[in-house]
Amino acid sequence: MSCFKKLLECVGPRRRTQEPRPQPAFPTGLEELYTPLCERTADIILIHDITDDLRQTWTTNNIVWPKDLLPKELIHLRVFAFGYDGRVTNMSEIVSAERVRRHAESLLVAVTSRLERDAAEIPGVGNRPIIFCAHGLGGIICEQALVTAEAKSHSLWALARGIMLFGVPHFRAGTAEWAALVARSIGLSTKRAQRQDWSPFQQDFTDLANMQSKFCDIVDPRETAGRIKICCFYEEIQVHGNLMISPEWAILPKFRIVPIARDHFGMTKLDSRDAKTFRCIVGTLYNWLSN
């Protein structure tokens, strides 16, 4: 036996360094999932998390519930899904405040383009209210887009009527828990949030926290006279053994709170009109649109 083989026997099998799993390309832009045959009363825009794309986030058993189930309950809703490139290769990209700003700007551009197209195709018909449904990072992007829209008096701010937030992290602790969960799911890290070294990313955490503080200010019911409704859904089941976004970081205290007995990645995947979460979504939308 060669000296090299003897050395391998002594030291044992070589440990592989953890490498991120390859991520497929993400479709980007505003995709129309459903257009009502009758006159629409509102538009709903879905924004995915970083781990799934604009369709996969809302799909299970080949059922895309915003396209296949929701129109059977609310026939006057037009449904869009907004996609952004969620591919990341390191923790810096996961928590990047600059990436959030870029995606939020892309959302504003896409919505503006669509509103202008609507105005050209159907002259004289005013814009309809917009409701957002966002998961994980998609919620942070939505919040950033609305903060920017409010500051610039963008039409998106005037049209916004409701926001459904699914497992959306808030402030430093929430962002850290979400980032650790995402890093584990794509093979970048196995550490819990409490064991990560977040020191290289303090500016990103500060920027995101400041943006979310501003968001809370502008959607305060006292400031909007209740114009913008918000419902926060939070997960109740851990994933990867012990990871989840704690309820206290997934909610906004002044707004409705709904628990979902799923983990972070399963909470947006529905395949039945009888599912408890789906009935809650339909009831919430009906109330918002009726008022």
**Per-residue pLDDT at 242 exceeds 90:** no
Q: Degrees (nearest 5) of the Cα angle 207, 208, 213? A: 100
**Per-residue pLDDT at 20 exceeds 90:** no
Please report where in the chains the tokens 């408890």 appear, as a residue.
276
- C-alpha 75: how far from its chain's center? 24
Mean pLDDT of the chain: 90
> pTM, whole model, 2 decimals?
0.90
Determine contact, residues 167/267, Cβ cutoff 8 Å.
yes
Structure confidence at residue 259 as a pLDDT band (50, 70, 90): very high
Rg (CA), the chain: 21
pLDDT at 24: 65
The rounded distance, in Å, linking the Cα atoms of 291 and 287 is 6
pLDDT at 7: 33
User: Could you report the per-residue pLDDT of 132-183, keeping only the tens digit for each?
Assistant: 999 999 999 999 999 999 999 999 999 999 999 999 999 999 999 999 999 9
